[in-house]
Chain A
Amino acid sequence: MIRLEALTVRVGTFRLEEVSFEVPSGGYGLLIGPSGSGKTTLLETVAGHVPTLGGKIHLHGEDVSAAPPEHRGVGFVYQNYHLFPHLSVRENIRYGLARGATAASAQLERVRELAALLGIEPLLERSVHGLSGGETQRVALARALAPRPSILLLDEPFAAVDPATRHMLRRELRTIHERERVTTLQVTHDFDEALRLGDVVAVLAEGRIAQLGRPDEVFRYPNSAFVARFIGTGTVLRGTVSRQSAGGAPGPFAAWFESGPLRFEVVADREGEAHAVLRPEDLVLSREPIPGSARNRLPAVVDRVERVGPVSYVHLDAGRPLTAAVTTASADRLELATGVQVVVTVKATAIHLV
């Protein structure tokens, strides 16, 4: 378990403010944020390389806030891997084992086991110069896992490899995570990775945690315009919420959300300035208006159709830019193309106000 309590860190002009976050034992946590939001610094703080100004770091229930890195039992993989250039692949993996406590035969056995797990046995005698990105990443991972750390910290581990390798490594990493039962905290700027890998995700913005939760929850219900935009939940519109009828019972109420020329029927719990998040999959496109109640209908013109395999993203102009996701099959059936007039239908309850 990794538990951060109100962690405050300052490095130069950069700061982390009161960051609290927990990854359960054996869990896979993701820390996501734009470049410069302090993700690497947070990982280095957990590893013990950066001193804290306030707050506590608990690893498996033990307060390690003051412990040096070598006593924290964490494995660390940097974005650029940082293999030891003066050592062979085998010596790199063995590095954390090569001390008094472990017999040489047991060390070599552990190196073999990890090399087999990661498919890098043929590389063991090689120098680390000239390894491919994917190979380097596997060696770095094996090196970090060799001393059986209880915590694994990964700093953008897939950023330096090509997409095909990234896809494969991601699957392998999930398998290894389950096999080695190591509590993992990974930093990424790619929310897609969070959706695929994480049990829990924290969105970091300007040194603070903007939102915390299960990746699918955060994706569906971003709590701010920043999070919605950053993780790409959908179109974010800025506007005002006003009650449809005065008075009424406490709790959510039917309201209008107005943003420039657009007016949507929404379900709100407060009035005034707000952002509406419209998820592409909640916008239904048709050539003729679809009948039914509690639905918003608005005319729009197709600006551009972006076909991404089985799904197509339709960028629309409805007075404000909107993006809808439809299956590529329906995009073909509706003969969607630039300049085509369509009707956008969206349920009042599908519009997420933040």
Chain B
Amino acid sequence: MTAKDSLPRGASSSNRVHLPWARVTMAALGALLVLFIVGPLLRLLWLATPASLGEALRDRELLSSITLTLGTATAATLIGAVLGVPLAFLLARRSFPGRRLVEAIVELPVVVPHPVAGIALLLFLGRNSSLGSGFARLGIEFVSHVPGIIAGMLFVSVPILVSGAREAFRGVDPRLERVARTLGDSPATAFRRVTLPLAGRGILAAAVLAWARGVSEFGAIVILTYNPQVASVLIWDRFTTLGLPAAVPAALLLLAVALGLFAVVRVLQPQERR
């Protein structure tokens, strides 16, 4: 791709000459939306005084809640990656009966409202369900336990992980793998030496996004596992029981974690799209 190709279309000089009003209108509309996102976040960050941050960092309950959130999101992402990345490869590379159906099913959690997902998971994994009682015999309980948090996070983050990994694999030209094969690689070696290095960054970016999705989940988790409390449930709990001032320090700390994640994703993504 040449430098010229990579310029957005609107940036060509002819547009600037002929349609200045159109550009101004578009910029103004866009600016409203950008302000709508930045405004509330800045308003919240405005409250980030050393006192409020110090309060948050001394709050043992909040810190253990954030640790729990990060740990469960990591577990959900790892489970999702182990189950989902091979599936993403199949979806990207192989045609098989029912492929489109599987693809649609994997995207389905996007349209399921999160409390609805929580209720569905509760019915499916609860102690009265056959699956739930089976797991219970193995010593794994979902409802009101940590595995319930992980299940909720996994359910909502699967579409992000699988579709991201699938697109990363699709971005690798199969002919590169074919060249590697004629140069002596077995299918597994070609995958390790060519496909994975080229798709890896995209898969990692998808995993980080899925992780962030897990960290921010509330609706499904609050129904499955109210206690122990993940950060989003804790913030909601404090807001409803103690009021806004009590919720702010926790909200600030979670926002800081989310922004940190976001920065990681941005570093990973642009090179992938180059």
Chain A residues close to B by CB (< 8 Å): 44, 47-49, 68-70, 72, 74-76, 78, 82, 84-86, 95-96, 99, 143-144, 146-147, 149, 153
Contacts and interface: CB of A to CB of B under 8 A. Distances in A.
B261 interface: no
Given A82-B173, A84-B194, A95 B180 contact: yes
B179 A70 contact: no
Contacts of B198: 85-86
A75 to B, nearest CB: 6
A70 B184 contact: yes
B178 interface: yes
Interface size class of B (residues with CB under 8 A): 10 to 19
B113 to A, nearest CB: 41
B181 interface: yes
Interface string B161-194: 0000000000001011011111111110000011
**Closest 8 A-B residue pairs measured CB to CB?**
A96-B183, A69-B181, A76-B182, A82-B175, A86-B197, A49-B178, A70-B184, A69-B182
Interface in B205-240: none
Contacts of B183: 70, 75, 95-96, 143-144, 146-147
Nearest to B193: A95
Contacts of B176: 82, 84
A70 B185 contact: yes
B2 to A, nearest CB: 10
A68 B181 contact: yes
A74 B175 contact: no
Nearest to B179: A82
Contact of A72 (B175, B179, B182): B182
A332 to B, nearest CB: 44
Nearest to B182: A76
B181 A70 contact: yes
Contacts of A48: 181-182
A68 B178 CA distance: 11
27 contacts: A47-B178, A47-B181, A68-B181, A68-B187, A69-B178, A69-B181, A70-B181, A70-B185, A70-B186, A75-B183, A76-B179, A76-B182, A78-B179, A82-B173, A82-B179, A84-B179, A85-B198, A86-B197, A86-B198, A95-B183, A95-B193, A96-B183, A96-B184, A143-B183, A144-B182, A149-B182, A153-B182
Interface in B137-179: 173, 175-176, 178-179
Contacts of B187: 68
A47 B178 CA distance: 9
A99 B190 CA distance: 12
Contact of B181 (A49, A84, A85): A49
Contacts of B184: 70, 96, 99, 147
Given A74-B182, A76-B182, 17 more contacts: A47-B182, A49-B178, A68-B181, A68-B187, A69-B181, A75-B183, A82-B175, A84-B176, A84-B179, A84-B194, A86-B197, A86-B198, A95-B183, A95-B193, A99-B184, A143-B179, A153-B182
B200 to A, nearest CB: 9
Interface in B42-60: none
A84 B175 CA distance: 10
Contact of A78 (B175, B193, B194): B175
B185 A44 contact: no
Most buried by A among B173, B183, B197: B183
B201 to A, nearest CB: 10
Nearest to B200: A86
Most buried by A among B175, B176, B180, B198: B175
Contacts of A76: 178-179, 182
Contact of B182 (A70, A86, A99): A70
A75 B182 contact: yes
Contacts of B186: 68, 70
Contacts of A84: 176, 179-180, 194
Contacts of B182: 47-48, 69-70, 72, 74-76, 144, 149, 153
Contacts of A143: 179, 183
A96 B190 CA distance: 11
Nearest to A143: B183
A82 B194 CA distance: 12
Nearest to A49: B178
